[in-house]
Amino acid sequence: MSVIRKIFKACSHSQVMPIGIRMMSTRVELPRDALTEQQLCQIKDGIKDATIFRRLKDLSFKYTIPVSEMNYMRDVMMFDHSLLEEKGTVKKLIHGIVIETVRVGSNDEDLFKRDFREYMAGESKRREVALSLFRSMVMVSQKVRALSRSAVYKLINKSAKKLRVKDCWSSWKWRDQDCGFRLATCLVESDDSFDVESVLQEYTTPILMLVDINKAPMVRATVLKLLLVAVRSGKASVSLGLLSLVGSNIGARSNVVHSLAADCIIEIMFVMNLKAGEVDVLPLMVNLFKALKLPGSEENEYLMKCIFQAVSVSEISPKGCDLCFRELIHILVCQRCQNPEFQKNLVQSLALLIERESHDFTENRLVDILGRCEEMVSSPIDDEHGFFLLKSVVDNLVYEVIASHMKHVWVVLFARLVNNETAQFQQSLVRFMSFFLVRHGIASLVDSVNSVHPDIFNAFVRDCWVPHMKLINEVNEDEKKTE
């Protein structure tokens, strides 16, 4: 036992670390004296020098290469392709710079959990430069592409056999596979010889099919991003089976995972060019509305855009329609949305449902929607969405259904006109009245407006409608020119 104590004590004071920790250790920043003052000036001035390129390449296995130096190496490499023909150069660049920079670290994990929008917005400047270096290498020659593909396959395959081993994702190896998938995304964009279909089938599908959808969230997110790029580029086969597989990941607790899954579903539906009735979206809708209740995703624009896409391509069953109306109206009425993109897709989804279900539109639904519309048109921030929804109601429901509610609608609109008059609101109101006139006739318009106060319609026409007709026509002409 005394011998063991001595060994343990010696190890604790040495530089030796367990292999898992050693692999995760960070490199030392490149010291300034690693390059001469002349070389630093050449890098700053963009003077391409193969000697500096080779020096940085050799230093990359010991030090972290700064962003400016990585950019310089890429420029020199693209200026002189023969540098990549030198023995070991491609391998050193991939392993010494690209993989070390692209592999996720603790900061990435923190951002992944803390702010899904920032995480999804794009890579860090440092990682983006490393990926740019990798893309540039791949474009040089078939030989370089083959070496790059080999490196990516090794990374992806490193942990593939351990997918179902308990707690395997707590080890460092998942980071290598995640890195491999990130680089595979670059190959999808840059290498036509890259067999992305086999990668998707053999490596990404098992991850998306894991029974525990909350397992390996960062790898799962990277896989979904790879799939998204592959579908967009037309290099991945799409099917209802793939739609169902990705849809199951909507239930993941991770905001990044269910947001990327929603983005993938939108793209898959678009590429498949699904028509109404071709797919049952009820299970998907259930998952989407559950995800909207998860912390941080209450106003998730990716989820709401996916709901709109699903509503637009599907023939929703009565049960599904009730679910959609109930959930969407609840969000519209109970939440005061701060996310403009979320609110836009929410309003458009409701408008589409009103159009689809106009023949079976209940009084309670109408009261709820009109009540929120009246609040929205009273606000300069939300009035555009309020008018959009009002227009959908007026367009799709027969006058007998909305007649008893129109007096209160006009009262609210005129109150906003008097209390918070803006040129844009006046134009929107005139447009809405014009639309009402075309849809339900002059008699219905005049009678419903005058129910607020006798002869108020004539006063509105004289003071507001006629003066703004010219402005509205000019706006319409400008919009046509920009189309």
With a cut of 90, say whether residue 474 has pLDDT above it: no
CA distance 413 to 426: 10
Could you tell me which of 190, 186, 259 has the C-alpha nearest to residue 220?
259
Domain-located, residue 149:
yes
Domain-located, residue 68:
yes
> Which residues is 29 bridged to in the sheet?
64
CA distances, 386 to each of 15, 25, 346, 459, 475 (Å): 65, 55, 12, 24, 20
> Locate tokens 């990277």: which residue?
222
Which of 171-175, 412-416, 425-429, 460-464 comes out lowest in average pLDDT? 171-175
Domain-located, residue 145:
yes
Domain-located, residue 65:
yes
Q: What percent of the chain has pLDDT over 90?
A: 62
For 40-70, how does the pLDDT look when each residue is reduced to its tens digit (9 = 90+)?
999 999 999 999 999 999 999 889 999 999 9
Phi/psi for 23 (5° steps) reads -70, -25
How many domains does one find in the chain?
A: 1
Could you tell me which of 243, 244, 249 has the C-alpha nearest to residue 220?
249
pLDDT at 29: 86
The whole-chain average pLDDT of the chain stands at 86
Domain-located, residue 114:
yes
Could you tell me which of 432, 418, 419, 444 has the C-alpha nearest to residue 468?
432
Q: What is the domain range of residue 214? A: 27-230
**Cβ atoms 320, 281 nearer than 8 A:** yes
**Cβ atoms 99, 83 nearer than 8 A:** no
Half-sphere exposure of 238 (CA within 13 A, CB side): 22
First to last CA, the chain: 83
CA distance 326 to 206: 35
**Cβ atoms 300, 292 nearer than 8 A:** yes
With a cut of 50, say whether residue 2 has pLDDT above it: no
With a cut of 70, say whether residue 85 has pLDDT above it: yes
The single-letter DSSP state of residue 298 is T
Domain-located, residue 96:
yes
For 428-462, how does the pLDDT look when each residue is reduced to its tens digit (9 = 90+)?
999 999 999 999 999 999 999 999 999 999 999 99
The single-letter DSSP state of residue 209 is T
> Which residues is 28 bridged to in the sheet?
63
Alpha helices in 106-200 (DSSP H): 106-114, 116-121, 125-138, 142-157, 173-190, 196-199
CB proximity list for 21: less than 8 A, separation 6 or greater? none
The single-letter DSSP state of residue 63 is E
pLDDT at 161: 55
Domain-located, residue 188:
yes
pLDDT at 157: 86
pLDDT at 28: 84
CA distance 301 to 348: 13
For 264-283, how does the pLDDT look when each residue is reduced to its tens digit (9 = 90+)?
999 999 888 766 556 678 88
For 169-179, how does the pLDDT look when each residue is reduced to its tens digit (9 = 90+)?
555 478 899 99
CA distance 366 to 86: 73
Question: Span 341-351, mean pLDDT?
Answer: 94
Domain-located, residue 331:
no
Instruction: Record the pTM.
Output: 0.84
Question: Span 368-381, mean pLDDT?
Answer: 89
- For residue 68, count other CB atoms closer than 10 A to its CB: 12
CA distances, 333 to each of 310, 347, 369, 372 (Å): 22, 12, 8, 6
pLDDT at 464: 86
CA distances, 389 to each of 12, 338, 346, 357, 377 (Å): 68, 18, 10, 14, 10
